[in-house]
Amino acid sequence: MAHDRTAEEMDQFLTERADLLMRTAVLLTGSREAGQDLLQTALERLLRHWRTLEGDPEAYLRRTLYNLAADGFRRQGRLRRKLLLLRAETQAPVDPTTEVDLRDALVRMLLQLPPRQRAVLVLRYWEQLTEAETAATLGWPQGTVKSAASRGLRRLRELAEGWHQAERDDKELRGQRA
Amino acid sequence: MNTDVEELLRDGMERFTAGVRAPAGLAHTASRRRRRRLAVRAAVACGTAAVTAAAVVAVAAGTGGGPARTGPAISQAHTAAYVISRVEKALAEQHLVLLGRTSGVWGPSRSWTYGPRNRFEEFTGSDCGHALPNGNCTHRGGSEPYIDVGTALIGGKLTGVYVSYYNRKWSLLPEGSTPASACSRTGALEMASPLVPTSDWPAFIRATLACGAAAVTGHVQIDGVETVKITGSPVTVKLPPGEARAVHEKWVRSRWTLYVDPDTYLPVRMSGSSYSYGGPAPSTYSAGVTDIQWLPPTAANIAQSLITIPAGFQQVSSPADQ
Protein backbone atom coordinates (compact mmCIF):
# COMPACT_ATOMS: atom_id res chain seq x y z
CA MET A 1 0.00 0.00 0.00
CA ALA A 2 1.44 3.32 -1.02
CA HIS A 3 1.62 6.20 1.38
CA ASP A 4 0.91 9.70 0.14
CA ARG A 5 4.26 11.31 -0.55
CA THR A 6 4.62 14.98 0.19
CA ALA A 7 6.18 17.83 -1.72
CA GLU A 8 8.91 17.95 0.91
CA GLU A 9 9.84 14.37 0.11
CA MET A 10 10.13 15.34 -3.54
CA ASP A 11 12.48 18.18 -2.64
CA GLN A 12 14.52 15.85 -0.47
CA PHE A 13 14.68 13.24 -3.21
CA LEU A 14 15.90 15.81 -5.73
CA THR A 15 18.41 17.30 -3.32
CA GLU A 16 20.02 13.89 -3.02
CA ARG A 17 19.72 12.59 -6.56
CA ALA A 18 19.19 15.45 -8.99
CA ASP A 19 22.84 16.00 -9.90
CA LEU A 20 23.39 12.40 -10.88
CA LEU A 21 20.13 12.30 -12.79
CA MET A 22 21.09 15.52 -14.53
CA ARG A 23 24.40 14.03 -15.64
CA THR A 24 22.57 11.05 -17.09
CA ALA A 25 20.13 13.34 -18.87
CA VAL A 26 22.99 15.37 -20.33
CA LEU A 27 24.58 12.21 -21.68
CA LEU A 28 21.32 11.10 -23.21
CA THR A 29 20.67 14.40 -24.95
CA GLY A 30 24.09 15.90 -25.58
CA SER A 31 23.78 19.27 -23.85
CA ARG A 32 22.94 20.77 -20.50
CA GLU A 33 19.94 22.64 -21.91
CA ALA A 34 18.43 19.60 -23.59
CA GLY A 35 19.33 17.44 -20.59
CA GLN A 36 17.53 19.82 -18.28
CA ASP A 37 14.51 19.77 -20.57
CA LEU A 38 14.52 15.97 -20.62
CA LEU A 39 14.88 15.72 -16.86
CA GLN A 40 12.07 18.19 -16.30
CA THR A 41 9.83 16.32 -18.70
CA ALA A 42 10.53 13.11 -16.80
CA LEU A 43 9.86 14.94 -13.55
CA GLU A 44 6.52 16.10 -14.89
CA ARG A 45 5.65 12.45 -15.42
CA LEU A 46 6.82 11.63 -11.94
CA LEU A 47 4.75 14.47 -10.49
CA ARG A 48 1.61 12.91 -11.92
CA HIS A 49 2.17 9.83 -9.79
CA TRP A 50 4.24 11.24 -6.97
CA ARG A 51 1.71 11.15 -4.17
CA THR A 52 0.59 7.59 -4.68
CA LEU A 53 3.56 6.05 -6.43
CA GLU A 54 4.44 2.63 -5.12
CA GLY A 55 8.04 1.55 -5.27
CA ASP A 56 11.22 3.47 -5.79
CA PRO A 57 10.67 6.92 -7.34
CA GLU A 58 14.23 7.04 -8.62
CA ALA A 59 13.74 3.79 -10.52
CA TYR A 60 10.54 5.22 -11.95
CA LEU A 61 12.28 8.44 -12.94
CA ARG A 62 15.21 6.64 -14.51
CA ARG A 63 12.98 4.40 -16.56
CA THR A 64 11.02 7.42 -17.73
CA LEU A 65 14.23 9.27 -18.60
CA TYR A 66 15.59 6.41 -20.65
CA ASN A 67 12.31 5.65 -22.34
CA LEU A 68 11.84 9.28 -23.29
CA ALA A 69 15.37 9.42 -24.60
CA ALA A 70 15.12 6.12 -26.43
CA ASP A 71 11.99 7.31 -28.16
CA GLY A 72 13.82 10.36 -29.35
CA PHE A 73 12.54 12.61 -26.60
CA ARG A 74 9.06 13.31 -27.77
CA ARG A 75 10.08 12.39 -31.29
CA GLN A 76 12.06 15.57 -31.57
CA GLY A 77 15.25 13.65 -31.74
CA ARG A 78 16.05 14.26 -35.35
CA LEU A 79 15.78 18.02 -35.24
CA ARG A 80 17.27 18.24 -31.79
CA ARG A 81 20.27 16.17 -32.80
CA LYS A 82 20.84 18.35 -35.82
CA LEU A 83 20.75 21.43 -33.68
CA LEU A 84 23.03 19.89 -31.13
CA LEU A 85 25.49 18.82 -33.76
CA LEU A 86 25.56 22.33 -35.13
CA ARG A 87 25.99 23.67 -31.65
CA ALA A 88 28.72 21.15 -30.93
CA GLU A 89 30.56 22.25 -34.03
CA THR A 90 30.40 25.88 -33.12
CA GLN A 91 31.40 25.19 -29.56
CA ALA A 92 34.31 22.90 -30.31
CA PRO A 93 37.07 23.33 -27.76
CA VAL A 94 40.03 25.37 -28.92
CA ASP A 95 42.61 23.68 -26.74
CA PRO A 96 44.48 21.37 -29.13
CA THR A 97 45.17 18.87 -26.39
CA THR A 98 41.46 18.56 -25.83
CA GLU A 99 40.64 18.42 -29.50
CA VAL A 100 42.77 15.37 -29.99
CA ASP A 101 41.36 13.54 -27.04
CA LEU A 102 39.77 10.36 -28.26
CA ARG A 103 37.57 10.22 -25.22
CA ASP A 104 35.89 13.45 -26.16
CA ALA A 105 35.56 12.29 -29.72
CA LEU A 106 33.89 9.10 -28.58
CA VAL A 107 31.35 11.02 -26.54
CA ARG A 108 30.63 13.31 -29.48
CA MET A 109 30.14 10.21 -31.60
CA LEU A 110 27.91 8.73 -28.93
CA LEU A 111 25.67 11.77 -29.20
CA GLN A 112 25.26 11.16 -32.91
CA LEU A 113 24.07 7.59 -32.46
CA PRO A 114 20.34 6.83 -32.77
CA PRO A 115 18.56 7.46 -29.45
CA ARG A 116 18.03 3.77 -28.71
CA GLN A 117 21.67 2.86 -29.20
CA ARG A 118 22.73 5.86 -27.17
CA ALA A 119 20.39 4.96 -24.32
CA VAL A 120 21.72 1.41 -24.22
CA LEU A 121 25.35 2.53 -24.20
CA VAL A 122 24.72 5.07 -21.43
CA LEU A 123 23.01 2.41 -19.36
CA ARG A 124 25.73 -0.14 -20.00
CA TYR A 125 28.83 2.05 -19.63
CA TRP A 126 27.69 5.00 -17.56
CA GLU A 127 25.26 3.29 -15.24
CA GLN A 128 27.31 0.09 -15.58
CA LEU A 129 24.25 -2.13 -15.78
CA THR A 130 24.33 -5.62 -17.17
CA GLU A 131 22.50 -6.49 -20.36
CA ALA A 132 19.71 -8.04 -18.33
CA GLU A 133 19.40 -4.98 -16.10
CA THR A 134 19.45 -2.69 -19.12
CA ALA A 135 16.70 -4.73 -20.76
CA ALA A 136 14.64 -4.58 -17.58
CA THR A 137 15.08 -0.82 -17.31
CA LEU A 138 14.02 -0.17 -20.86
CA GLY A 139 11.39 -2.89 -20.96
CA TRP A 140 12.96 -4.37 -24.06
CA PRO A 141 13.92 -7.95 -24.87
CA GLN A 142 17.50 -8.70 -23.92
CA GLY A 143 18.32 -9.51 -27.53
CA THR A 144 17.27 -6.02 -28.59
CA VAL A 145 19.56 -4.51 -25.99
CA LYS A 146 22.41 -6.74 -27.07
CA SER A 147 22.09 -5.85 -30.74
CA ALA A 148 21.68 -2.11 -30.04
CA ALA A 149 24.81 -2.13 -27.86
CA SER A 150 26.68 -4.11 -30.46
CA ARG A 151 25.80 -1.75 -33.29
CA GLY A 152 26.58 1.31 -31.21
CA LEU A 153 29.95 -0.01 -30.08
CA ARG A 154 30.82 -1.05 -33.60
CA ARG A 155 30.38 2.51 -34.79
CA LEU A 156 32.47 3.83 -31.93
CA ARG A 157 35.22 1.34 -32.69
CA GLU A 158 35.21 2.42 -36.30
CA LEU A 159 35.70 5.96 -35.09
CA ALA A 160 38.54 4.90 -32.83
CA GLU A 161 40.22 3.04 -35.66
CA GLY A 162 39.95 6.08 -37.87
CA TRP A 163 41.29 8.22 -35.07
CA HIS A 164 44.38 6.07 -34.56
CA GLN A 165 44.96 5.90 -38.30
CA ALA A 166 44.81 9.68 -38.56
CA GLU A 167 47.34 9.97 -35.72
CA ARG A 168 49.69 7.54 -37.48
CA ASP A 169 49.35 9.46 -40.74
CA ASP A 170 50.02 12.70 -38.93
CA LYS A 171 53.18 11.37 -37.30
CA GLU A 172 54.38 9.99 -40.60
CA LEU A 173 53.77 13.31 -42.32
CA ARG A 174 55.62 15.21 -39.63
CA GLY A 175 58.49 12.74 -39.90
CA GLN A 176 58.73 13.31 -43.62
CA ARG A 177 58.79 17.06 -43.16
CA ALA A 178 61.51 16.78 -40.54
CA MET B 1 40.77 -2.88 -28.38
CA ASN B 2 37.17 -3.47 -27.43
CA THR B 3 37.88 -2.92 -23.77
CA ASP B 4 39.87 0.19 -24.62
CA VAL B 5 36.95 1.76 -26.40
CA GLU B 6 34.55 0.90 -23.64
CA GLU B 7 36.84 2.31 -20.99
CA LEU B 8 37.58 5.40 -23.03
CA LEU B 9 33.88 5.90 -23.53
CA ARG B 10 33.25 5.60 -19.82
CA ASP B 11 36.02 8.11 -19.13
CA GLY B 12 34.70 10.37 -21.81
CA MET B 13 31.23 10.35 -20.29
CA GLU B 14 32.71 11.21 -16.90
CA ARG B 15 34.60 14.13 -18.41
CA PHE B 16 31.65 15.27 -20.47
CA THR B 17 29.39 15.54 -17.46
CA ALA B 18 31.98 16.67 -14.94
CA GLY B 19 30.72 19.74 -13.17
CA VAL B 20 27.16 19.27 -14.36
CA ARG B 21 24.75 20.21 -11.61
CA ALA B 22 21.01 20.11 -11.62
CA PRO B 23 19.54 23.60 -11.56
CA ALA B 24 17.78 24.68 -8.42
CA GLY B 25 14.01 24.48 -8.33
CA LEU B 26 13.72 21.55 -10.71
CA ALA B 27 10.55 20.26 -9.14
CA HIS B 28 8.93 23.68 -9.15
CA THR B 29 9.83 24.22 -12.78
CA ALA B 30 8.47 20.83 -13.76
CA SER B 31 5.30 21.52 -11.86
CA ARG B 32 4.93 24.91 -13.53
CA ARG B 33 5.51 23.43 -16.97
CA ARG B 34 2.94 20.77 -16.31
CA ARG B 35 0.34 23.34 -15.27
CA ARG B 36 1.23 25.45 -18.27
CA ARG B 37 0.76 22.52 -20.61
CA LEU B 38 -2.61 21.70 -19.17
CA ALA B 39 -3.68 25.31 -19.43
CA VAL B 40 -2.62 25.53 -23.05
CA ARG B 41 -4.48 22.38 -23.89
CA ALA B 42 -7.54 23.69 -22.17
CA ALA B 43 -7.29 27.04 -23.90
CA VAL B 44 -7.40 25.48 -27.31
CA ALA B 45 -9.88 22.86 -26.30
CA CYS B 46 -13.15 23.95 -27.79
CA GLY B 47 -13.72 22.92 -31.32
CA THR B 48 -11.08 20.37 -31.77
CA ALA B 49 -11.65 18.78 -35.02
CA ALA B 50 -13.03 21.92 -36.37
CA VAL B 51 -9.47 22.74 -37.25
CA THR B 52 -9.33 20.11 -39.76
CA ALA B 53 -12.66 20.96 -41.06
CA ALA B 54 -11.71 24.55 -41.31
CA ALA B 55 -8.65 23.50 -43.07
CA VAL B 56 -10.75 21.57 -45.41
CA VAL B 57 -12.84 24.44 -46.35
CA ALA B 58 -9.82 26.61 -46.58
CA VAL B 59 -8.25 24.23 -48.92
CA ALA B 60 -11.20 23.96 -51.12
CA ALA B 61 -11.71 27.64 -51.18
CA GLY B 62 -8.09 28.26 -51.82
CA THR B 63 -7.96 25.87 -54.67
CA GLY B 64 -10.20 27.99 -56.70
CA GLY B 65 -12.61 25.11 -56.78
CA GLY B 66 -13.31 22.59 -59.44
CA PRO B 67 -11.51 19.37 -60.01
CA ALA B 68 -8.05 20.76 -60.11
CA ARG B 69 -6.23 17.69 -61.26
CA THR B 70 -5.42 19.03 -64.60
CA GLY B 71 -3.60 21.89 -65.55
CA PRO B 72 -1.21 24.16 -64.15
CA ALA B 73 -3.28 23.36 -62.25
CA ILE B 74 -5.43 24.97 -60.04
CA SER B 75 -7.33 27.51 -61.81
CA GLN B 76 -8.09 30.54 -59.83
CA ALA B 77 -10.97 31.25 -62.12
CA HIS B 78 -13.52 29.98 -59.72
CA THR B 79 -14.36 32.43 -57.07
CA ALA B 80 -13.91 31.71 -53.43
CA ALA B 81 -17.66 32.07 -53.07
CA TYR B 82 -18.21 29.26 -55.55
CA VAL B 83 -15.80 27.00 -53.78
CA ILE B 84 -17.22 27.75 -50.40
CA SER B 85 -20.70 27.07 -51.62
CA ARG B 86 -19.55 23.67 -52.88
CA VAL B 87 -18.03 22.89 -49.54
CA GLU B 88 -21.09 24.01 -47.67
CA LYS B 89 -23.24 21.91 -49.95
CA ALA B 90 -21.04 18.86 -49.59
CA LEU B 91 -21.09 19.10 -45.83
CA ALA B 92 -24.73 20.02 -45.55
CA GLU B 93 -25.92 17.19 -47.76
CA GLN B 94 -23.92 14.55 -46.08
CA HIS B 95 -23.92 15.64 -42.45
CA LEU B 96 -20.71 13.75 -42.05
CA VAL B 97 -18.85 13.13 -38.87
CA LEU B 98 -15.23 14.19 -39.05
CA LEU B 99 -12.67 11.85 -37.56
CA GLY B 100 -9.08 13.03 -37.50
CA ARG B 101 -6.24 10.84 -36.32
CA THR B 102 -3.17 12.77 -35.35
CA SER B 103 0.33 11.58 -34.76
CA GLY B 104 2.91 14.00 -33.58
CA VAL B 105 5.24 14.94 -30.82
CA TRP B 106 2.53 14.34 -28.28
CA GLY B 107 0.74 11.09 -27.86
CA PRO B 108 -1.56 9.97 -30.63
CA SER B 109 -4.92 11.69 -30.67
CA ARG B 110 -8.31 11.57 -32.32
CA SER B 111 -10.52 14.49 -33.20
CA TRP B 112 -14.27 14.21 -33.69
CA THR B 113 -16.64 16.90 -34.84
CA TYR B 114 -20.28 16.93 -35.75
CA GLY B 115 -21.94 20.32 -35.91
CA PRO B 116 -21.28 22.11 -32.65
CA ARG B 117 -20.17 18.91 -30.99
CA ASN B 118 -16.48 18.24 -30.82
CA ARG B 119 -14.09 16.08 -28.96
CA PHE B 120 -10.33 15.81 -28.82
CA GLU B 121 -9.02 12.57 -27.35
CA GLU B 122 -5.36 12.24 -26.52
CA PHE B 123 -3.94 8.83 -25.74
CA THR B 124 -0.82 7.76 -23.97
CA GLY B 125 1.93 7.89 -26.53
CA SER B 126 4.76 5.69 -27.54
CA ASP B 127 7.03 7.75 -25.32
CA CYS B 128 5.89 6.07 -22.15
CA GLY B 129 2.99 8.34 -21.39
CA HIS B 130 1.95 6.18 -18.47
CA ALA B 131 4.05 3.98 -16.32
CA LEU B 132 3.54 1.30 -13.75
CA PRO B 133 4.51 1.97 -10.17
CA ASN B 134 7.82 0.27 -10.91
CA GLY B 135 8.43 2.75 -13.72
CA ASN B 136 8.09 0.34 -16.62
CA CYS B 137 6.24 1.64 -19.62
CA THR B 138 3.05 -0.28 -19.94
CA HIS B 139 1.07 1.59 -22.55
CA ARG B 140 2.78 2.12 -25.83
CA GLY B 141 1.03 2.81 -29.06
CA GLY B 142 -1.70 4.99 -27.65
CA SER B 143 -3.90 2.37 -26.11
CA GLU B 144 -4.95 4.28 -22.99
CA PRO B 145 -7.05 7.45 -22.77
CA TYR B 146 -5.09 10.36 -21.40
CA ILE B 147 -6.99 13.61 -21.98
CA ASP B 148 -10.45 14.35 -23.37
CA VAL B 149 -11.30 17.92 -24.32
CA GLY B 150 -14.43 19.16 -26.01
CA THR B 151 -18.16 19.18 -25.52
CA ALA B 152 -20.37 17.16 -23.20
CA LEU B 153 -24.08 17.23 -22.59
CA ILE B 154 -24.56 18.54 -19.07
CA GLY B 155 -28.09 19.32 -17.98
CA GLY B 156 -29.16 18.95 -21.59
CA LYS B 157 -26.81 21.71 -22.71
CA LEU B 158 -23.62 21.44 -24.74
CA THR B 159 -20.84 22.42 -22.40
CA GLY B 160 -17.08 22.56 -22.75
CA VAL B 161 -15.25 20.09 -20.50
CA TYR B 162 -11.70 18.93 -19.83
CA VAL B 163 -11.20 15.38 -18.57
CA SER B 164 -7.89 13.93 -17.41
CA TYR B 165 -7.91 10.15 -17.10
CA TYR B 166 -4.59 9.72 -15.35
CA ASN B 167 -5.92 11.34 -12.17
CA ARG B 168 -9.65 10.81 -12.76
CA LYS B 169 -10.60 14.49 -12.71
CA TRP B 170 -12.64 16.83 -14.88
CA SER B 171 -13.52 20.49 -15.05
CA LEU B 172 -15.68 22.89 -17.00
CA LEU B 173 -13.99 24.93 -19.67
CA PRO B 174 -14.56 28.64 -19.67
CA GLU B 175 -16.18 30.05 -22.75
CA GLY B 176 -13.34 31.48 -24.74
CA SER B 177 -13.36 33.79 -27.69
CA THR B 178 -12.86 31.98 -30.95
CA PRO B 179 -10.91 33.42 -33.84
CA ALA B 180 -13.09 34.08 -36.85
CA SER B 181 -10.32 33.14 -39.26
CA ALA B 182 -6.65 32.30 -39.56
CA CYS B 183 -5.98 35.90 -40.52
CA SER B 184 -5.10 36.90 -37.00
CA ARG B 185 -1.81 35.70 -35.60
CA THR B 186 -3.66 33.85 -32.89
CA GLY B 187 -5.95 32.14 -35.38
CA ALA B 188 -3.05 31.14 -37.58
CA LEU B 189 -1.16 29.83 -34.58
CA GLU B 190 -4.07 27.65 -33.64
CA MET B 191 -4.22 26.26 -37.16
CA ALA B 192 -0.89 24.64 -36.41
CA SER B 193 -2.46 22.62 -33.61
CA PRO B 194 -4.96 19.84 -34.05
CA LEU B 195 -7.60 22.17 -32.69
CA VAL B 196 -9.40 25.13 -34.16
CA PRO B 197 -12.02 26.82 -32.08
CA THR B 198 -14.72 27.21 -34.68
CA SER B 199 -17.58 25.15 -35.93
CA ASP B 200 -18.42 27.55 -38.72
CA TRP B 201 -15.91 26.34 -41.21
CA PRO B 202 -17.12 28.09 -44.33
CA ALA B 203 -17.12 31.46 -42.59
CA PHE B 204 -13.73 30.74 -41.12
CA ILE B 205 -12.32 29.82 -44.48
CA ARG B 206 -14.00 32.60 -46.32
CA ALA B 207 -12.38 35.11 -44.03
CA THR B 208 -9.04 33.33 -44.18
CA LEU B 209 -9.02 33.37 -47.95
CA ALA B 210 -10.16 36.92 -48.14
CA CYS B 211 -7.15 38.07 -46.19
CA GLY B 212 -4.72 35.84 -48.10
CA ALA B 213 -3.65 33.76 -45.13
CA ALA B 214 -3.57 30.58 -47.25
CA ALA B 215 -2.66 29.72 -50.84
CA VAL B 216 -2.79 26.75 -53.17
CA THR B 217 0.72 25.43 -53.57
CA GLY B 218 0.34 22.28 -55.66
CA HIS B 219 -0.84 18.69 -55.77
CA VAL B 220 0.20 15.80 -53.59
CA GLN B 221 -0.70 12.12 -53.88
CA ILE B 222 -2.15 10.76 -50.67
CA ASP B 223 -3.38 7.18 -50.65
CA GLY B 224 -3.80 7.24 -54.39
CA VAL B 225 -5.71 10.50 -54.43
CA GLU B 226 -4.18 13.55 -56.01
CA THR B 227 -5.00 16.11 -53.40
CA VAL B 228 -4.77 19.84 -53.56
CA LYS B 229 -2.19 21.25 -51.25
CA ILE B 230 -3.04 24.44 -49.42
CA THR B 231 -0.36 26.15 -47.44
CA GLY B 232 -1.08 28.65 -44.71
CA SER B 233 1.22 31.59 -44.37
CA PRO B 234 3.68 31.03 -41.54
CA VAL B 235 3.26 33.36 -38.64
CA THR B 236 5.50 34.39 -35.80
CA VAL B 237 3.89 35.42 -32.56
CA LYS B 238 5.52 37.10 -29.61
CA LEU B 239 4.25 35.46 -26.48
CA PRO B 240 2.58 37.63 -23.88
CA PRO B 241 4.99 38.32 -21.01
CA GLY B 242 3.24 35.94 -18.63
CA GLU B 243 3.33 33.04 -21.06
CA ALA B 244 6.88 33.82 -22.08
CA ARG B 245 8.00 33.61 -18.47
CA ALA B 246 6.13 30.35 -17.99
CA VAL B 247 7.72 28.58 -20.93
CA HIS B 248 11.05 30.44 -20.89
CA GLU B 249 10.67 31.32 -24.53
CA LYS B 250 9.67 34.53 -26.29
CA TRP B 251 8.50 33.63 -29.76
CA VAL B 252 6.46 30.95 -31.46
CA ARG B 253 6.57 30.37 -35.20
CA SER B 254 3.99 28.11 -36.76
CA ARG B 255 2.93 26.87 -40.15
CA TRP B 256 0.14 24.65 -41.41
CA THR B 257 -0.80 22.79 -44.56
CA LEU B 258 -4.01 21.17 -45.75
CA TYR B 259 -4.54 18.50 -48.34
CA VAL B 260 -7.98 18.39 -49.92
CA ASP B 261 -9.66 15.90 -52.19
CA PRO B 262 -10.62 18.06 -55.19
CA ASP B 263 -13.63 15.88 -55.98
CA THR B 264 -15.27 16.07 -52.62
CA TYR B 265 -13.83 19.30 -51.33
CA LEU B 266 -13.08 17.52 -48.13
CA PRO B 267 -9.67 17.45 -46.49
CA VAL B 268 -7.85 14.21 -46.20
CA ARG B 269 -4.83 15.40 -44.28
CA MET B 270 -3.66 18.35 -42.29
CA SER B 271 -0.24 19.06 -40.91
CA GLY B 272 0.97 21.74 -38.58
CA SER B 273 4.14 22.61 -36.76
CA SER B 274 5.35 25.18 -34.32
CA TYR B 275 8.76 26.27 -33.16
CA SER B 276 9.25 28.27 -30.02
CA TYR B 277 12.48 30.07 -29.33
CA GLY B 278 14.15 33.18 -28.06
CA GLY B 279 14.28 32.47 -24.34
CA PRO B 280 16.62 30.81 -21.88
CA ALA B 281 14.97 27.42 -22.46
CA PRO B 282 16.08 25.29 -25.39
CA SER B 283 14.02 25.85 -28.51
CA THR B 284 11.11 23.49 -28.87
CA TYR B 285 9.79 22.06 -32.08
CA SER B 286 6.49 20.25 -32.26
CA ALA B 287 4.65 18.90 -35.23
CA GLY B 288 1.69 16.73 -36.00
CA VAL B 289 -0.07 15.20 -38.97
CA THR B 290 -3.80 14.56 -38.94
CA ASP B 291 -5.31 12.05 -41.32
CA ILE B 292 -8.97 12.76 -41.82
CA GLN B 293 -11.91 10.50 -42.48
CA TRP B 294 -15.50 11.55 -43.07
CA LEU B 295 -17.87 9.05 -41.51
CA PRO B 296 -21.58 8.51 -42.00
CA PRO B 297 -23.68 10.13 -39.27
CA THR B 298 -24.62 6.94 -37.51
CA ALA B 299 -25.69 7.12 -33.89
CA ALA B 300 -22.41 5.51 -32.87
CA ASN B 301 -20.31 7.99 -34.82
CA ILE B 302 -22.25 10.99 -33.56
CA ALA B 303 -21.92 9.72 -30.02
CA GLN B 304 -18.16 9.76 -30.43
CA SER B 305 -18.24 13.51 -30.91
CA LEU B 306 -19.49 14.00 -27.37
CA ILE B 307 -17.54 13.40 -24.19
CA THR B 308 -19.09 11.26 -21.51
CA ILE B 309 -17.57 12.00 -18.15
CA PRO B 310 -16.78 8.65 -16.55
CA ALA B 311 -18.58 7.85 -13.33
CA GLY B 312 -16.54 8.49 -10.23
CA PHE B 313 -14.36 11.22 -11.71
CA GLN B 314 -13.88 14.21 -9.43
CA GLN B 315 -14.87 17.65 -10.65
CA VAL B 316 -12.33 20.40 -9.97
CA SER B 317 -12.63 24.11 -10.53
CA SER B 318 -10.43 24.46 -13.63
CA PRO B 319 -8.05 22.55 -15.90
CA ALA B 320 -5.18 24.16 -14.05
CA ASP B 321 -6.13 22.04 -11.03
CA GLN B 322 -5.75 18.88 -13.04
Q: Please list every residue in chain A whose beta carbon sits closer than 8 Å to the beta carbon of residue B105.
A: 74-76
Shortest Cα distance, chain A CAs vs residue B282, angstroms: 6
Q: What is the per-residue pLDDT for A147?
A: 92
Q: Examine the domain organization and report whether A43 and A113 are in the same domain.
A: no
Q: What is the per-residue pLDDT for A89?
A: 30
Q: Which residue of A has its CA nearest to B37?
A: A44
Among the listed ranges B81-85, B162-166, B227-231, B315-319, which one has the minimum average pLDDT value?
A: B81-85
Q: What is the per-residue pLDDT for B284?
A: 67
Q: Examine the domain organization and report whether A99 and A178 are in the same domain.
A: yes
Shortest Cα distance, chain B CAs vs residue A78, angstroms: 11
Q: Domain holding A149: CATH number? A: 1.10.10.10
Q: Examine the domain organization and report whether A83 and A132 are in the same domain.
A: no
Q: What is the per-residue pLDDT for B183?
A: 80
Cβ–Cβ gap B27/A36 under 8 Å: no
Q: Please list every residue in chain A whose beta carbon sits closer than 8 Å to the beta carbon of residue B26.
A: 14, 18, 39-40, 43
User: Is B319 a residue whose pLDDT tops 60?
Assistant: yes
Interface of A with B in 80-139 (CB under 8 A): 80, 83, 102-107, 110, 121-122, 125-126, 128, 139
User: Is A76 a residue whose pLDDT tops 80?
Assistant: no
What ipTM does the predicted assembly reach?
0.75
Of A22, A74, A104, the CB nearest to B15: A104
Q: What is the per-residue pLDDT for B176?
A: 55
- The segment with the largest mean pLDDT, out of A59-68, B124-133, B259-268, is A59-68
User: Is B96 a residue whose pLDDT tops 60?
Assistant: yes
Which of A63, A86, A133 should we substitute to test contact with B (largest number of B Cβ atoms within 10 Å)? Answer: A63
CB atoms within 10 A of CB A32: 19
Q: How far apart are CA B64 and CA A32, in angstroms?
A: 50
Q: Examine the domain organization and report whether A111 and A100 are in the same domain.
A: yes
Q: How far apart are CA B187 and CA B232, in angstroms?
A: 11
Q: What is the per-residue pLDDT for B310?
A: 95
Q: How many domains does chain A divide into?
A: 2
End-to-end CA distance of chain B: 54
Last residue of a domain, one of A38, A58, A91: A91
Q: How far apart are CA B10 and CA B28, in angstroms?
A: 32
Confidence of residue A95 (pLDDT cuts 50, 70, 90): very low
Mean pLDDT of B12-24: 83
Which carries the bigger pLDDT value, residue B318 or residue B297? B297
Nearest to B264 by CA among B48, B63, B100, B51: B63
User: Is B264 a residue whose pLDDT tops 90?
Assistant: no
Angle (nearest 5°) at CA A69 between A67 and A71: 70
Q: Examine the domain organization and report whether A99 and A57 are in the same domain.
A: no
Q: What is the per-residue pLDDT for B170?
A: 93
CATH T-level assignment (fold) for domain B27-321: outer membrane lipoprotein receptor (LolB), chain A (2.50.20)
Q: Please list every residue in chain A whose beta carbon sits closer than 8 Å to the beta carbon of residue B35.
A: none
* Per-residue pLDDT reduced to its tens digit, A2-58: 456 677 777 788 888 888 889 988 888 877 777 887 888 888 888 877 777 777 888
CA A120 from chain center: how many Å?
Answer: 8
Of B5, B27, B136, the CB nearest to A153: B5
Structural domain boundaries in chain B: 27-321
Shortest Cα distance, chain A CAs vs residue B228, angstroms: 28
Q: What is the per-residue pLDDT for B91?
A: 57
What is the domain extent for residue A109? 94-178
Q: Examine the domain organization and report whether A6 and A63 are in the same domain.
A: yes
Last residue of a domain, one of A74, A91, A108: A91
Q: What is the per-residue pLDDT for B5?
A: 81
Confidence of residue A125 (pLDDT cuts 50, 70, 90): confident
